Chains A and B, each alone.
Chain A
């Protein structure tokens, strides 16, 4: 079920009303969340509910086994490792098997050996990477004794499958989310209103900004060979906003939706395009995944407190894994490597934590230096998104080469001119998004800026944004990150 579907528009109020008015006891509420989450996911393809149930079941069971073997550290280690392997095997089978088999066939073909390999056409279950990582974090945290394993199976299954964040995150930690399913939740008016606002802003970013950008981006990326440099550059910039609007929009809707049920999810985006260097960008982009990799891979590998050669190695591992997490394609791996290359100088020079505060804190506008840093970082990120968006490495390379031919600005202008009806609102919406997020950059979300404002201003915002969402709504535009 998509957030921006009519089905969800009916589903959400029903679940909300049942949750607070009918199923008022904790256990009943958890059961309702579980059933609602399975309906939400099963609406897409009920067969893959089995996978979620297997992942949840094994993680739940592993947690209890680890606890019951408290005096046997070696056994605990094996149980934890077994659970990780099992979850990763499922992920591998459904997400990466085709990629590896095809790559192997291609590799052998280079040496003239033609394998008669039948590629299995496996459907990628939506959100498999997200809930698998959430389940892994529970087992690892139980093993590390950061959290007590729960015996409440319903609460645990609800924690893994909680519908607002099931298919595209934020990837929650058991330490944050599971206790919320084990303790009674209270309805809080201010939180619920803030949740609605956050959802509204998320829908704006997805429906109005991202989906409008997508029209151009798809056209240009499909016809990149016949387009001029400036058009390619403009399309790459539009994709940069598309993916942000799409993914951060989803996160805002998910976090806002969870607030309606008295659940607080972690923040996933914190104005990443206002970053002054790549390290800051990665602290602000897809925070739940970045911190997951940091806590469960980077730090166990030694992090940055190891010899420099090892730091280089660790950095590459983390970025390559991050790239590979996004999908079974070499473009994602190269995208990860590209960011590793940008990140390395900062970490080697010890400047990766230089910009930890929000830009222009306490000021309305950034300084020229900050503005330059932001623009440079933004440009580097744009290049990365071209690799990410391209169908192949070859296409990405040709696209970047084509983009560097700056002598054709006039032609680019001509491309956009006939489509001005679409183009000017798209540009305007991007500007509105940037301005609102700049003003709210120290708030939890874009419409956080409405806190304390007069009712008339607030309502005017709600109505205008709602109208725009309605106006630009298209039923069939799925979120980009569902495929990961």
Chain B
């Protein structure tokens, strides 16, 4: 019996050690899933926050280039996850706070992307039952490298399945490469719309409260720009149905907090999406450039005053 227990302990120890070694190798090679980089990258001065729309649609490289002549503290880092992980709330707020670290700069720039889903709860759920709890931002409370806990719990082959068409750049931009023929596009939009149509959302006081808190936090360190990223007509109609006065309410919040709000939703026909919800990467570049132009215009106006 003792021999058996002894051997079993040796076996468990060897397997555990092998797994740890494997994770160190994965970490060194960079084979982990794309979210891993967000938890292991260093603290940042300027940030882009929001859901997957922002993660895919706002490209820090372009912002760094176009705003290089301004006084903003660059480079900017895209710290947006997705609608499941990073809707505005206490968890995301705390993660952002940790990501900013000991930021004492007053010239940082923060782009706060807003959309109805990221500021709502599903009607069937009660307020208090928030979807981001139990996910990575809830579990990972510190950002360092290697993140053995993250690798142990989340680094799995099924996440690699998507790695063929997803790349997370070092600046936090999530590049998506999908087929862009009309048939695939139509199917993608239909699938996404079916998914969204199956949800009934309702505006959340909790999420709006934490959006305000997030903006207030950013304002301590620099300038904040809120934006509503463009989407397809179908998605836009869904948003109008789900939250009719969304832009109006966002304008009000922006005004209260004395920040700028850009509702790019109105320019929806200028940009193509991969699924109705996320900008195609080339159009994301155009959009980021347009966003920079708007920021520069606002910055000039305020400096002229």
| A residues at B contact (CB < 8 Å) | 20, 187, 189, 192-193, 196, 215, 418-419, 421-422, 425, 459, 462-463, 466-467, 470-474
B3 and A471 contact, CB distance less than 8 A: no
Closest to B17 in A: A463
Decide if A421 touches B164 in the complex (CB within 8 Å). yes
Of B18, B22, B161, which contacts A421 at CB under 8 A? B161
* Interface contact A462-B11, CB-CB below 8 Å: yes
Contacts of B3 in A (CB 8 A): 189
Cβ < 8 Å to A, chain B residues 151-201:
156-158, 160-161, 163-164
Task: Check A467–B15 contact: CB distance below 8 A.
Answer: yes
Cβ of B4 and Cβ of A189 under 8 Å apart? yes
7 pairs from A and B in contact (CB 8 Å cutoff): A187-B1, A187-B4, A193-B4, A193-B7, A421-B163, A466-B18, A467-B19
Residue in contact with A467 in the complex, picked from B22, B156, B160, CB distance below 8 Å:
B22
Residues of B within 8 A of A419 (CB): 161
In the assembled complex, B14 has its CB within 8 A of some CB on chain A: yes
Separation of A466 and B12 alpha carbons in the complex (Å): 10
**3 tightest Cβ-Cβ pairs between the two chains A and B:** A466-B15, A422-B161, A187-B1
Assess whether B15 is in contact with A463, with CB atoms less than 8 Å apart: yes
Bound Cα distance from A422 to B163, whole angstroms:
11
Question: Which residue on chain B has the smallest CB distance to residue A260?
Answer: B4
Asked if B25 is at the interface of the complex by the 8 Å CB criterion, the answer is: no
- Measured in the bound complex, the distance between the Cα atoms of B14 and A459 in whole Å is 10
8 Å CB contacts to A: which residues of B9-47?
11, 14-15, 18-19, 22
What count of chain B residues pass the 8 Å CB interface test? 18
CB neighbours of A425 from chain B (8 A): 157
Residue pair B15, A470 in contact (C-beta under 8 Å): yes
Q: B21: shortest Cβ distance to chain A, in Å?
A: 10
Q: Which residues of A contact B164 (CB under 8 A)?
A: 418, 421
**B15 in contact with A472 (CB, 8 Å):** no
A423 nearest CB neighbor, chain B only: B161
Tell me whether B8 is interfacial, beta carbon within 8 Å: yes
Contact A472 B156 (CB under 8 A): yes
CB neighbours of B157 from chain A (8 A): 421-422, 425, 471-472
> Across the interface, which residues of A come within 8 angstroms of B158, CB to CB?
215, 422, 474
Q: Which residues of B contact A463 (CB under 8 A)?
A: 14-15, 18
Q: How far is the CA of A193 from the CA of B3 in the complex (A)?
A: 11
CB distance from A303 to the nearest CB of B (A): 45
> Bound complex: CA of A196 vs CA of B161, how far in Å?
32
Give the residue name and chain of the B residue nearest to A471 (CB): B157
Contact pick for B19, options A189, A215, A470, A472, CB 8 Å:
A470
Query: Smallest CB–CB gap between A32 and chain B, Å?
Result: 16
Which of B3, B4, B8, B22 has the most A CB atoms < 10 Å from its CB? Answer: B4
Question: Are the C-beta atoms of B4 and A192 separated by less than 8 Å?
Answer: yes
Which B residues lie within 8 Å of A462 (CB)? 11, 15
CB B4 to nearest CB in A, in angstroms, measures 5
Known: A467-B19, A467-B22. A421 touches B160 (CB 8 A): yes
In the complex, residue of chain A having the shortest beta-carbon distance to the beta carbon of B164? A421
In the complex where A422-B161, A471-B156, A474-B158 touch, is A20 in contact with B18 (Cβ < 8 A)? no
Complex Cα gap A425–B19 (Å): 19
Task: Produce 1/0 per residue, B40-75, CB < 8 A to A.
Answer: 000000000000000000000000000000000000
Chain B: which residue is nearest A464 at the CB level? B18
Q: Give the chain B neighbours of A471 by CB distance below 8 A.
A: 156-157
Q: How far is the CB of A265 from chain B (nearest CB, A)?
A: 19
A373 → chain B, closest Cβ, in Å? 36
Residues in A whose Cβ lies below 8 Å from that of B4: 187, 189, 192-193
A88 → B minimal CB distance (Å): 39
A215-B158, A471-B156 given; 17 more Cβ-contact pairs under 8 Å: A20-B1, A192-B4, A193-B4, A193-B7, A418-B164, A421-B161, A422-B157, A459-B14, A462-B11, A466-B11, A466-B15, A467-B15, A470-B19, A472-B156, A472-B157, A473-B156, A474-B156
Report the nearest B residue to A200, measured CB to CB: B11
* Minimal beta-carbon separation of B151 from chain A (angstroms): 11
